[in-house]
Amino acid sequence: MPKMKSGTILVVFFFLFVLYAIGRIYSSIPAINRPRDLADTDAYLRISREALLDQDFWAGTRPLVFPLLLKIAKQDLRLTSAVQLGISILAWGFLAWIVSRFIRLPFLQIAAFVWMLGLSLDRHISGWDFVMMSESLSLSLFAIFIGVNLWLLEGWWTYKVVLIHATGFLLAFTRDTNAWLLLIFSVLLTIPILFKLIGSKNLVIITGLSAIFLVSTINANMGYRWIFPLGNVIGQRILPYGSSFRYFEDCGMPVSPRLINLAGQFANAQERALFEDPELESFRHWMMDKGRSCYMHWLVSQPVNSIREVFVNFDKLISFSSVDGYFSRAFDPLMPVALGKLFYPECFSLWIWILTTLAALTGFWLQYWKDNRLWVGFIFINLSILPHLFISWHGDAMAPARHALAVGVQLYVSFTLFGILALERFWVARIKGGSVGQ
């Protein structure tokens, strides 16, 4: 793949990135001074005050990366916001630069750089820097992880492989759902290996990312981080419905009037009755011993309905129009909301996914990556969207749109890459056609 040879383009990139960084920093000063803390913030702060080597810190009720940032910042929420903003600026600048390196035409290189930076200015991404939860770090690490993997496509170097695994580890230990994304990438990566489209050395990446997933799962089990989400699912999606209720009853779930009284409620309802009421002691033992396995068997037993639920809620989850309710009241996005909808549409997301998925399958079938290896990244990012959303939706019934935030960003990174690649193919074909005509 041709490298960027023009010093002029590098100067333009530097100038644009400086403007981008200054704009984000200047517009963020009010929000940095008034960061938003939510219900989960207290849990993160509590963990951050534990000793670094204490199990309650590195295997607590929340993954360790955001508490580690709070610990480094000495629980200063303003400093934490500023650091999150800085990481976000660097992460999206890095991804924009890497993406632009794959484009052959200079003006499209600049357009790709600007387009990717523009996506990061949408409030669905930029607004989380001032919220004291793990979303900002999760999105930034996702951008870095994608960027490093794309960078590897330019040439196999050991330090890039190390960076992939280091970033993957941080990503997995920022939000538990991210670990599943690593596993999904690993599974997808086996397909081109089986078809001998890529070398077997990529097994190193598969093994490493799968190992990170396994360690993350063990860590989550040690902190019992799956208990509360499972309680939400049972209260919201199992107890209120006869067929699912009977399935779980047949699976050994102890049924009592007190449990039935919690139908339609979250796990923390009625003064955390699900976890503290003596009448539900037998239910808690069952949930610890068999709850997860029964739930997974239930999802597998009705695959059509399980997948249908994802599609029924697709637009609502991806659009996340209520995202502003989570932000600092001092947050004023640099990019106007109306303009942001061009980069991060809040409607027709299912059709956008269908379009990009068809393009990804077409690109795989016709081996478009032979012309531009950025197609490899686009294909992987796109084909992992549906399983990622499936896990996000079925993983927790509380605030599902927030839990699916990373999937929405993933979709629109994919859509951005598709737009860049489609425009390049059109323009290159036009140039070749003009040359033939002459």
User: pLDDT tens digit string along 275-287?
Assistant: 999 999 999 999 9
96 and 162: one domain? Answer: yes
Residue that finishes a domain, picked among 258, 274, 301: 301
323 and 245: one domain? Answer: no
pLDDT tens by residue, 116-130:
999 999 999 999 999
Q: In the chain, pLDDT over 70 holds for what percent of residues?
A: 97
Tokens of 77: 């929420």
Range of the domain at 244: 228-301
Mean residue pLDDT across the chain: 94
Residue that finishes a domain, picked among 267, 301, 335: 301
User: Is the predicted pLDDT of residue 436 greater than 50, yes or no?
Assistant: no
Q: What one-letter code names the amino acid at 265?
A: Q
214 and 283: one domain? Answer: no
The DSSP bridge partners found for residue 438 are none
| pLDDT class of 431 with cuts at 50, 70, 90 | confident
36 and 54: one domain? Answer: yes
Does any domain span residue 139? yes
| pLDDT class of 438 with cuts at 50, 70, 90 | very low
236 and 139: one domain? Answer: no
151 and 165: one domain? Answer: yes
Number of domains in the chain: 2
The DSSP bridge partners found for residue 321 are none
What are the angstrom distances between the C-alpha of 301 and each of 236, 296, 307, 345, 388? 19, 9, 12, 34, 20
Whole-angstrom Cα distance, residue 275 to residue 290? 16
What is the pTM (predicted TM-score) of this model?
0.94
pLDDT tens by residue, 221-268:
999 999 999 999 999 999 999 889 999 999 999 999 999 999 999 999
pLDDT tens by residue, 331-386:
999 999 999 999 999 999 999 999 999 999 999 999 999 999 999 999 999 999 99
Residue that finishes a domain, picked among 286, 301, 316: 301
Does any domain span residue 1? no
Does any domain span residue 2? no
247 and 321: one domain? Answer: no
Please state at what angle helix 77-101 crosses helix 7-33, rounded to 10 degrees. 160
pLDDT tens by residue, 46-63:
999 999 999 999 999 999
Does any domain span residue 98? yes
Positive/negative CA dihedral, 378, 381, 384, 385: negative
Q: What is the 3-state secondary structure (H, E, C) of 374-424?
A: HHHHHHHHHHCHHHHHHHHHHHCCCCHHHHCHHHHHHHHHHHHHHHHHHHH
Does any domain span residue 131? yes
Does any domain span residue 42? yes
65 and 107: one domain? Answer: yes
Closest CA to 240 of 397, 36, 427: 397
The rounded Cα 422 to chain-centroid distance in angstroms is 24
How much is the pLDDT for 2?
Answer: 45
239 and 165: one domain? Answer: no
Tokens of 419: 């737009």
205 and 234: one domain? Answer: no
359 and 404: one domain? Answer: yes
266 and 220: one domain? Answer: no
Whole-angstrom Cα distance, residue 23 to residue 425? 32
Over range 17-37, report the average pLDDT. 97
How much is the pLDDT for 1?
Answer: 42
